[in-house]
Amino acid sequence: MYTRRLRLPKQPKQTFFLWGPRQTGKTTLLKQHYPQAFRVDLLKSDELMGYLQRPALFREHMLALPKTRLVIVDEIQKAPVLLDEVHFLIQEQRRVFGLCGSSARKIRQGHANLLGGRAVRYELFGLLAEELGEDFNLVRMLNAGPLPSHYGHGNLKLALRGYVEDYLREEILHEGLVRNLQLFSDFLRVAAIGDTELVNLSNIARESGVKFSTVRDYYQILSDTLLGAFVPAYTVKPKRRLIQAPKFYFRDVGVVNHLTRRENIQPGSELFGKAFENWMLHELSAHSRYSEKYYDISYWRLTTGVEVDFILGNGETAVEVKAKERVPGHDLKNLLEFKADYPRVKHLVVASLEKQARRTQEGIWILPYREFLNRLWDGEWV
């Protein structure tokens, strides 16, 4: 069991949501932090059906508890109607809840009560390199992905297949998010092939055999269920023509590997480089939220093809990700192009597989990826 970097309040004074993809360890984390809390598990069919048929029963159960006792509600998206009861109990009883789930889509679509700003939001990601410590292995991470249930699994192929099948069945089919599960499944594989790439909805619609509007909705489902995320283009005061379409990254590179039938990705291959980029976004995204800096993460690309992988914040730091043990000089040109357009950039960095840090005359840091991440957590880049 690993110590997670996300810091929840020791004694919550305010109701909070804890969102995260399936199997990131949300329930385990809440049990560790709040062993004395009263728990409502909506994965239990009898509890779920009882509250859905008679939501007031939830209020009655809560009123029987001491006002000071924290209440954890797991899988809150399965019963959005309970949020009205939670709202009432917060407002009238000043009770505190921890509301856990993997998707707010059903809640928003049903116009359910999201508590009107009365709850703070936390998000739990898969395992980080720092959390794994000595157990971290890059090749393992880029094949298995960061979910705790997969990283150390003895039969990775079986675990990933079960995860995707459970996602399609539990998150998509049972929640009624799509009408045709097979079409969505086909789209999922096409989208995985385009992981880390620009999103061209027309091309994906053609390859998936679905309408343009349907593809757009499907991508939104992936975002809402926290299976993936868009990375927007950095377009602040452009001096040259820029690509403005977003990129899309799956949050779990192991899922990408399963959907695209990639097996045993090894250093030196193009697929290893793509997986390395995906994983680096995972680390950056977790840091942005866990550090509570909430800085933007974008990419920069000229119409000529010149591109920088990640721009952090308002352009303070530009990061290139290179899965190479020796980064040649021509791989630094894109960062210099960015600096030419944005001379106020503070840090130009390459996160790489090199063994020792170095800095070029132009001021570009070329770092082992672990050192890059250590400096990130030390507050050096943002």
DSSP string, 254-312: HHHHHHTT--S--TTSHHHHHHHHHHHHHHHHHHHHHTT----EEEEEBTTS-EEEEEE
Token look-up 């619609």 returns 205
Are 246 and 295 in a shared domain? yes
- Number of structural domains in the chain: 2
Its sign, for the CA torsion 334, 339, 340, 342, is positive
pLDDT at residue 308 in the model: 98
Are 228 and 364 in a shared domain? yes
Q: What is the CATH number of the domain that holds 47?
A: 3.40.50.300
DSSP 8-state code for residue 112: -
Are 196 and 221 in a shared domain? yes
Beta pairing class for 71-74 and 97-101: parallel
Full domain range(s) for residue 61: 16-123
pLDDT at residue 111 in the model: 42
Residue 3 falls inside a structural domain: no
Are 87 and 140 in a shared domain? no
Coil, helix or strand at residue 318 = strand
Integer Rg of the chain from CA: 22
In this structure, which long-range contacts are made by residues 273-279, counting pairs with CB atoms below 8 Å and at least 24 apart in sequence? 273/322, 273/323, 274/195, 274/196, 275/142, 275/143, 276/138, 276/142, 276/321, 276/323, 276/369, 277/196, 277/309, 277/321, 277/323, 278/195, 278/196, 278/249, 278/250, 278/253, 279/141, 279/142, 279/146, 279/253
Are 274 and 146 in a shared domain? yes
Residue 310 falls inside a structural domain: yes
pLDDT at residue 173 in the model: 84
Strands (E), 85-221: 97-101, 120-123
pLDDT at residue 152 in the model: 87
pLDDT at residue 178 in the model: 87
Token look-up 């020796």 returns 326
Last residue of a domain, one of 107, 123, 139: 123
Residue 154 falls inside a structural domain: yes
pLDDT at residue 109 in the model: 61
Contact 76, 47 (CB under 8 A): no
Longest dimension (CA), the chain: 69
pLDDT at residue 368 in the model: 98
Are 236 and 364 in a shared domain? yes
Q: How many Cβ atoms sit within 10 Å of the Cβ of residue 7?
A: 11
Residues 6+ apart with CB under 8 A from 91: 118
Q: Which pair of tokens denotes residue 186?
A: 């086909």
pLDDT at residue 103 in the model: 81
Coil, helix or strand at residue 230 = strand
Are 21 and 94 in a shared domain? yes
Task: Pick out the chain residues at pLDDT < 70.
Answer: 106, 108-114, 116-118
Last residue of a domain, one of 98, 123, 148: 123
**pLDDT tens, residue by residue, 30-52:** 999 999 999 999 999 999 999 99
Are 177 and 308 in a shared domain? yes
Residue 68 falls inside a structural domain: yes
Distance in angstroms (rounded) separating the CA atoms of residues 244 and 198: 9
Residue 143 falls inside a structural domain: yes
pLDDT at residue 114 in the model: 60
Strands (E), the chain: 16-19, 38-41, 71-74, 97-101, 120-123, 228-231, 247-250, 297-301, 307-312, 317-321, 347-352, 358-359, 364-368
Last residue of a domain, one of 99, 123, 147: 123
Residue 2 falls inside a structural domain: no
The alpha carbon of residue 21 and the mean position of all alpha carbons in its chain are separated, in whole angstroms, by 7
